[in-house]
Amino acid sequence: MGIRTTFAAATAAALILAVVPARAGELIVFDWPGYEDQNFFPAYMEKYGEPPTFSFFADEEEAFQKMRAGFKADLGHPCSQSVPKWHAAGLLKPLDTTKIAAWDDVMPEMRDLPGFNIDGEQYMLPLDWGATALTYRTDAVTPEQAATLQSFADPAFAGRVSIVDNVDDAYALGLLATGVTDWTNITDEQFEAASDFLRKVHENIRAYWQDGSELAQLMASGEVTLAWAWNETATTLQAEGHPVEMNRDTLEGSSTWVCGYVRLADGPASDEEVYDFLNAWLEERVAEYIVTEWGYGHSNGAGLAKMDQDVLKEAGFTDLAKYQDSTLVQSPLPFDMREKMIAEFEKIKAGF
C-alpha cells in the first residue's frame, strides 16, 4: 500500500480528531494523517498482526492543546520545533535508547539536534525529514514565476494558491519571502513583515490544505496551480503523471524540518509494544520505502547508505547539513514568539 492509497483513506481524518477503534491494551499513536501506512512499521505488523490505534491531528498546536486537555496516547509525532514546548508542558517522558536496536545507526546530525536531548535524556527519536517548498503545475506556472516566493502574493494567482494550514510552515514562507532565513531570533519588525506578506497571500488562497490527499486532489484537478507543500505532493503527483514540480531553490529559498516520535507521559501501552513500533520504523527497508514512495529522508544512515546513491543524490538525502543549506531550518522557536505566530495566523486565515 503506497502513499496514494493511504492518503485517499485519510482525507477526512485531518479535519477532525479521528480515532480508529482500539484493542484492549493496544498501542495508541497520535500522528499526522497518512502515517498509518503499514509499510512504515512492517515488523510491528508481522509480530502483532494488526496496526496500532491511530489518532490524527492536523498540526502540532492542535495536538498540543488536545493533550493538554487530557487526551491520552503512547507516542506522538511532532517536529523539532515542538519538542521543547511539549517537554516543558510535562507531556513527555524520556526514551530508553538501549531498547532501540538501530540507535547507533541514527544519523548524528539528526539525533543531536537542539531540543531532542534535554538534561542528558533523549526525548525524540528522529525519523523523517524533508522540505516545505514552492510546488507548482508546470503547465500553468512559468519558470520565472516558479523561481520566487513572491509569486504566492501575485494577483495573477488569485484563487489558485494553497498553503499548508500549519503555523510553522506558514511563517517559514512569510519569513523567507521577506528576507529572513533564521527564525531563532527574529525581531518584532521581521514578524510584522512576514505577517503582512501572509495577508497578501491570503487574498490568493483557494484553500489552506490540511493533509496531502487534499492538496493532491486540488493540484491534480488544476484548481490549485501554486502551493507551499511538503515533498510528498510532487512525488505522488509525478507518479500519477501530473505535470507538478517542487522547487527548493527559489530566489528566497525553502524551509526544512525534522520530525520523529516522542513517548507521551501517560500512555498506557507496555514498553515492549512501544519499542517494537519504534524499532520497526527504524528498519532499513522502511528507510528505502519512505525515500522512494514518499520523497522524504529517513534517519537510518546505514539504511540510506545501502540504497542507490544516485537516487539519494537526486533527492538531496545524502547529507542533512547540505539539505538544510540556504534554507530556513524549523528549529525550536522562543515560546513567546511562537505563541504570537499562532495567534496572528488565526487572524490572517480569518481575513483580518
> β-strands 161-164, 92-93: how paired?
unpaired
The pLDDT confidence band at residue 299, using thresholds 50, 70 and 90, is very high
Looking at residue 1, its pLDDT comes to 29
Q: Supply the CATH number for residue 147's domain.
A: 3.40.190.10
Q: What is the pLDDT of residues 317-339, one digit of tens each?
A: 988 888 999 899 999 888 899 99
Looking at residue 204, its pLDDT comes to 98
- For the ranges 172-176, 248-252, 311-315, 348-352, which has the lowest average pLDDT? 311-315
Tell me what percent of the residues of the chain surpass a pLDDT of 90.
82
The pLDDT confidence band at residue 203, using thresholds 50, 70 and 90, is very high
pTM of the model: 0.88
- Residue 259's nearest CA partner among 77, 5, 31, 15 is 77
Is the distance from CB of 315 to CB of 129 less than 8 angstroms? no
Same domain, 45 and 110: yes
Same domain, 200 and 344: yes
The pLDDT confidence band at residue 51, using thresholds 50, 70 and 90, is very high
Contacts of 28 (CB under 8 A, 6+ apart): 22, 52, 53, 54, 55, 72, 73, 74, 75, 267, 268, 269
Same domain, 70 and 148: no
Same domain, 106 and 234: no
Same domain, 185 and 70: no
Same domain, 10 and 124: yes
Supply the mean pLDDT for the chain. Answer: 91
Range of the domain at 332: 130-255+328-349
Same domain, 336 and 313: no
Looking at residue 343, its pLDDT comes to 96
Same domain, 7 and 122: yes
* DSSP annotation string for 259-315: EEEEEETT--S-HHHHHHHHHHHTSHHHHHHIIIII--EESBHHHHHTS-HHHHHHH
Looking at residue 342, its pLDDT comes to 94
Same domain, 8 and 84: yes
Same domain, 201 and 332: yes
Number of domains composing the chain: 2
Same domain, 189 and 263: no
Same domain, 175 and 248: yes
Q: What is the pLDDT of residues 16-42, one digit of tens each?
A: 334 444 444 589 999 999 999 999 999
